Amino acid sequence: MLHPKMIPGMIRTIFVLSAALVLVSSSTATAAPTMYGSLGNFDAINDTGSTAHGFEIELDGCLPSDIAATFGAPYNRYGDPSITTDGKNTFVRYQSAYDQGTSTWKAGTDSGPFAPTGGHSLFFSQYGGDPNYPNVPGDHFGVALNVNPTNTIYRWLLDGGGGTLVAAGSNLKLPAPILNLVPPANPVNPVAVQVVIQPPPPINGEQWGEAIWAKVFTTEVENPEPVELEDLVLGNAVVPPDSETEIEWHLLQTDPQNPGASELDDERDVANGNESVTRRYEFYAYTGPYDPETHEADDTYNPDHVGAFLGNQNVAANMVIPEPSTFVLSTLGVLGLGLVAVRKRFGGR
């Protein structure tokens, strides 16, 4: 049994532990979530002028271990991609099989113009994709990453002869959004998901870069659960739809004198309790005039200056949200074990 003189000390111990529990659990309850993954799915249009037999995503500054998932089989014609690295960068490569006997590729993506996907994505219809796929000049690809690449490059792969593939003469003009989680200055305020879209690089390092239009669907979808890569397709409830959205047009073009000012920075607060946020962007060629000396484009929106559809990007940020109730229960368990030890130490039953 406990000695009476021990009771006041035990009471003080319990009070201190309980106060510490309240303080720590309170700080956990107000702790900001952290982002543990960014996902991106996209439709890519083949505008190379030649039939492609593969597609490559170059992720600079990433290793294969940084890739959590890829979009592939059974959704598109190329299936699952291969993932290789040169030690600094990683290459996600979609490629058709090749028949050596007949010297033919088993799959290919024709080149040509294509209207905006308008509610469908360019993969097999039985999985919710376009009813005309694969007879369309484009495909749907995607990766889920644990880190942000320093640069992302998309390229179509063309027949190089003898069952080999070579990169098309120019890279796909489809920006890859970069997602960041921005903590608030005041901890009681919600965090924000920032999406940064960088335009093509300047020409020869001196003139303004190639211009493209970005159509931004500013109505985002906040989800109570993490998003899977295969969810990021048009028509899925987690992706902002065409209807009832506020749409803005932005001209993306790099100013060689101030490259950072050319980025599209889209930042929005995240409502409490949401574990993922998704957004959607569409990209179109710019067909307006350029300054003959600097190559600067006219950034005033004009529907006559909007050219071919280049592709769309569906992106998501998955977050870890602290669960105070779990922490409190585990801490109460530790406190309970401490009390049992005290009882045993002083002969309690």
* pLDDT tens track for 144-185: 998 889 999 999 999 999 999 999 998 998 999 888 888 888
Q: Report the mean per-residue pLDDT for the chain.
A: 79
3-class secondary structure per residue, 114-160: CCCCCCCCCCCHHHCCCCCCCCCCEEEEEEEECCCCCEEEEEEEEEE
> Of 206 and 289, which is predicted with more confidence?
289
Question: What was the pLDDT predicted at 244?
Answer: 53
For 324, the enclosing helix (H) or strand (E) is: helix 324-345
Q: What is the mean pLDDT of residues 197-209?
A: 84
Query: What per-residue confidence (pLDDT) applies to 348?
Result: 40
- Beta strands, E only, the chain: 34-45, 52-60, 67-70, 82-85, 89-95, 98-99, 104-105, 138-145, 151-161, 164-167, 178-182, 192-197, 212-223, 247-252, 264-269, 276-286, 306-320
pLDDT at residue 47 in the model: 93
- Tell me: pLDDT of 60 over 80: yes
- Flag whether pLDDT at 336 surpasses 90: no
- Cα-Cα end-to-end distance for the chain: 8
Confidence at 230, pLDDT banded by 50, 70, 90? confident
Between 117 and 305, residue with greater pLDDT = 305
Could you tell me the two tokens for 215?
């159509």
Dump pLDDT digits (tens) for 280-298: 889 999 999 999 999 999 9
Question: Which residues make beta-bridge pairs with 85?
Answer: 90
Q: Residue 117 has what pLDDT?
A: 67
pLDDT average, residue stretch 252-272:
82
| Selected residue with higher pLDDT from 34 and 46 | 46
Give the alpha-carbon dihedral of 263, 265, 266, 269, to 10 degrees. Answer: 170
Average pLDDT value for residue range 13-24: 36
Q: Which of 271-275, 289-293, 322-326, 341-345 has the lowest mean pLDDT?
A: 341-345
Asked whether the predicted pLDDT for residue 136 surpasses 70, the reply is: yes
Task: Kindly indicate the confidence band of residue 87, based on its pLDDT and cuts at 50, 70 and 90.
Answer: very high
Residue 273 pLDDT: 65
Q: Would you list the domain boundaries of the chain?
A: 6-31+326-345, 34-321
**At 6, is the secondary structure helix, strand, or coil?**
helix
User: Given pLDDT bands bounded at 50, 70 and 90, which one contains residue 321?
Assistant: low
317 confidence band (pLDDT: 50, 70, 90): confident
**Mean pLDDT throughout 15-26?**
37
Average pLDDT over residues 19-47: 62
pLDDT for 83 beyond 50: yes
pLDDT reported for residue 189? 77
pLDDT value for 338: 35
Answer whether residue 6 shows pLDDT above 60.
no
Write out 7-18 in H/E/C secondary structure.
Answer: HHHHHHHHHHHH
Does 225 score more than 70 pLDDT?
yes
Look at 90-94, 210-214, 234-238 and tell me which has the smallest mean pLDDT: 234-238
* Position with higher pLDDT, 339 vs 112: 112
Q: How crowded is the C-beta side of 68, counted as CA atoms within 13 Å?
A: 15
